[in-house]
Amino acid sequence: MNLFKESFMQLIGRAPTRPPKEDISPAAVKVHFRKKAEKFDAEEARRLHAEHDSNKWRRRRWITLIAINLLFVLSYHLDIQLLEGALTASRFLGFHMADLNSALQVMLAYKQVLINLLIGTVTIFLMWWLLGGRTFCSWVCPYHLLAEWAEMLHLKLTAKGLVKDHDFHRGARSVLYLVFVLLALITGYTVYETISPTGILSRALIYGPGLILIWVALLLLFEIFYSRRFWCRYACPIGLTYGLVGQISPLRIKYVLEDCQHEGDCRKVCLVPHVLDTVIKGRAQDVEVPIGADCTRCGLCVDTCPTSSLQFDFKGLNKIL
């Protein structure tokens, strides 16, 4: 329960906290005690990384994300009625699907429960519960892919000293979530859907571009030159909504303490590095720890870890893939 509570508090914006000693399992205490006497071997860490170098999950994720969005485009332009609509609301082979955050906005704005929207919401909830909540962000959302490319450019500029990264409080996302909920309820208008880069890009890909893409371009420029992954980390209520679903999802990334070198490269590549606070030396509560609900299951940490201390896992089953 302590891990569940910590995961939820991190999701809504609180900084990670060091677990109290009484919450650390005896097995983990033994491993921590052994590792405390060990010195970090930089040469060994470099050797392991050189042998491990992999982008397997990134390639799989990019292919999946592009394929899903391309299917929307082809279904519309070829009129094959396979996947109709856009990411905010669609039908797949006749089954209604509705983005959880968009559905909430619509029902609050119109102050009624629409049956097709409710059916679509239940369908999407069950699907993303099974697949891990924020998996939507890294495996489906088109803005995530553009933001990832923008992040690569941002990191190159930062390394050259041309720009400096600026952090914001992650709790801003929770505040904005409530703001958009209240705006929908009070104004009767889905304000968030007007500025959501996810919906804007999805509709632009399918139905054609419009001037609203200027807003998306401004967001990307802000992330390149000022704040790395600003929208996804600090603003997007979709991420928070699916994070809540991911809180109870059986699919997660699991941390295995035993072989971890604690070199920290996984945290450097992570979109939401606070969820990997448990990999810091002495922090893990057990020898195996599920990564928190704010994790997007992007697999970057799995690709980066040279000792397979981070791995995809389905609760109740052995390691998969």
Residue 53 pLDDT: 59
pLDDT of 263 higher than 90:
no
Give the C-alpha separation, 147 to 150, whole Å. 5
pLDDT at 213 over 60: yes
How many Cβ atoms sit within 10 Å of the Cβ of residue 262?
Answer: 16
pTM of the model: 0.91
What's the pLDDT tens digit per position in 83-138? 889 999 888 887 888 899 999 898 899 888 878 888 889 999 999 999 988 999 99
Split at pLDDT 50, 70, 90, the class of 169 is very high
Say if CB 274 and CB 17 are below 8 A apart: no
What's the rounded Cα separation, in Å, for the pair 158 and 1? 39
pLDDT of residue 42: 61
Residue 82: pLDDT band (50, 70, 90) is confident
Q: Tell me the pLDDT tens digit for each residue of 277-301.
A: 999 999 999 999 999 999 999 999 9
* φ/ψ of residue 51, rounded to 5: -80, -25
User: What is the model's pLDDT at position 320?
Assistant: 46
